[in-house]
A and B are shown apart, each in its own frame.
Chain A
Amino acid sequence: MFIIIQFIQPARNNNGQVLPTDISKQCSLPQNVQAVLKTSCYDCHSNKTHYPWYSYIQPVRWILDRHINEGKENLNFSEFGAYSARRQLSKLKAIENSIHDNTMPLSSYTLIHKNARLTPDDNVLIMDWARKTIVLTQ
């Protein structure tokens, strides 16, 4: 059974291009902020997931895919520009809130993806950026 399910490899969440709706084309996004978002958020919140080696092992892949689908449904940085202005604001506030409350990145994710853990400095950086962008967007 374990061997059989290894042959099931769903399509990857990686469309290989930066869409015009990508947040980097919509808001001012300093490089250091983008680097943190890429490492700690984009795996589940964009169209560009970086798949680690163990993602090739089932059923890890299924669990991962579920997280990615749910994450993208709630916030997709690649399609940020397609949200209404109001929704963009809400998303930025939700980013600030979830970092403030330490609910993101999910602890189940950082348990394995140790490099995705946010340092206190990262937290401040992201929250400051979100707050500034909220003011600019309003």
Chain B
Amino acid sequence: MAAISATILTACNNNSNSSSKAGGDSSAADQAVPAAAETKAASPVKDILAGYLQLKNALAGDNGNDAAAAGNAMVDAFQKFDKSALTAAQKKTYEDMEDDAREHAEHIGKNAANVPHQREHFDMLSKDMYELVKTFGGGQILYQDYCPMYNDGKGAIWLSEVKEIKNPYLGKKMPACGSIKEELK
């Protein structure tokens, strides 16, 4: 999964980076530096998003331990997030979101033995992540997927980096349940 998202990120960077590439540097090492800078500019929430996608995949596989690890990785990413580059309005959106999302990530981290409870928090966390990506961009193509069955038929959304539906709410019981609602670029 990490490899896939890395590939997508690289692909995005290469596109947006074409001007600097015209300069003629072709070695991988030379490319890595502007790519890193570009990624930061493209999506300041890259690390948070990476943790979230890891969490989503763990839940799709009914793996509470991996989900907890991903939740903790997200808490870490929130802590390391650099707010200094944000505008005042962005900062407000971010802080409002983080206040809520970080707590969900913490709970998911503490509940490795309770996947249903992890999913309850994942439901709320996904809405925060959607707003976050809408505000800051994801730096990669993402899909907003929808599961109509979760939560006694009230439904729930999640974000995915792949087109194929892998339902994190129902897991292995009904992996393909759900549909793409929106493509986020």
Contacts and interface: CB of A to CB of B under 8 A. Distances in A.
Interface in B100-158: 100, 103-104, 116-117, 120, 124, 128
A114 interface: no
Contacts of A97: 120
Interface residues of A, number: 12
B182 interface: no
Nearest to A85: B96
B99 A84 contact: yes
A84 B96 contact: yes
A46 to B, nearest CB: 18
B8 interface: no
B165 interface: no
A66 interface: no
A89 B96 CA distance: 12
A87 B107 CA distance: 14
B103 A87 contact: yes
Contacts of A101: 116
Contacts of B117: 103
A69 interface: no
A89 B103 CA distance: 13
A115 B160 CA distance: 46
B120 A86 contact: no
